[in-house]
């Protein structure tokens, strides 16, 4: 009898939604969005990050002015308590997802790792 992986994936989704990491992230996200100042700073920071990433992906050069603007915005973000807490929550959620990914990928790593044979 085959295992229905989609059922397990849906169970994992529910578990993630109920996890402390996700509920904390959701709470901090709501707090930032409820604070007009924090929301504006955070959206500006995110827009700058996305713009720089897009330029990198397109192979475009990032100017000194853009780097300086990104650094100033990053300082504002770090100094804002709500946004700083949101980013800490994002980091914890990211670590959780990395750990889950390791567990999910383990069978493939073992399979392909066994093909490499003994090391010399």
Q: Which residue has the higher pLDDT, 32 or 115?
A: 32
Alpha-carbon distance of 64 to 67, in angstroms, equals 5
| pTM for this model (two decimals) | 0.79
Residues 6+ apart with CB under 8 A from 103: none
- Other CB atoms within a 10 A radius of the CB of residue 19 amount to 14
pLDDT at position 117, please? 58
pLDDT at position 3: 79
Q: Which CA distances in Å does 8 have to 4, 11, 13, 15, 93?
A: 7, 5, 9, 10, 20
Domains parsed from the chain with CATH numbers: 3-108 (1.20.1500.10)
Q: Identify which of 94, 90, 78 has the alpha carbon closest to the alpha carbon of residue 41.
A: 78
pLDDT in tens, 27-76: 999 999 999 999 999 999 999 999 999 999 999 999 999 999 999 999 99
* C-alpha dist (Å) from residue 101 to 16, 21, 26, 75: 13, 16, 21, 31
Q: What is the largest CA-CA distance in the chain?
A: 61
């Amino acid at each position: 009898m085959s295992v229905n992986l989609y059922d397990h994936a849906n169970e994992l989704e529910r578990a993630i939604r109920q996890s402390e990491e996700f509920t904390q992230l959701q709470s901090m996200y709501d707090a930032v969005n409820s604070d007009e100042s924090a929301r504006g700073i955070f959206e500006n920071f995110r827009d700058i990050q996305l713009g720089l990433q897009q330029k990198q992906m397109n192979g475009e050069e990032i100017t000194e002015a853009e780097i300086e603007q990104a650094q100033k915005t990053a300082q504002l973000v770090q100094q804002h308590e709500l946004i700083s807490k949101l980013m800490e929550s994002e980091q914890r959620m990211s670590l959780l997802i990395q750990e889950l990914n390791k567990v999910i990928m383990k069978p493939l790593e073992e399979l392909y790792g066994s093909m490499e044979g003994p090391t010399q």
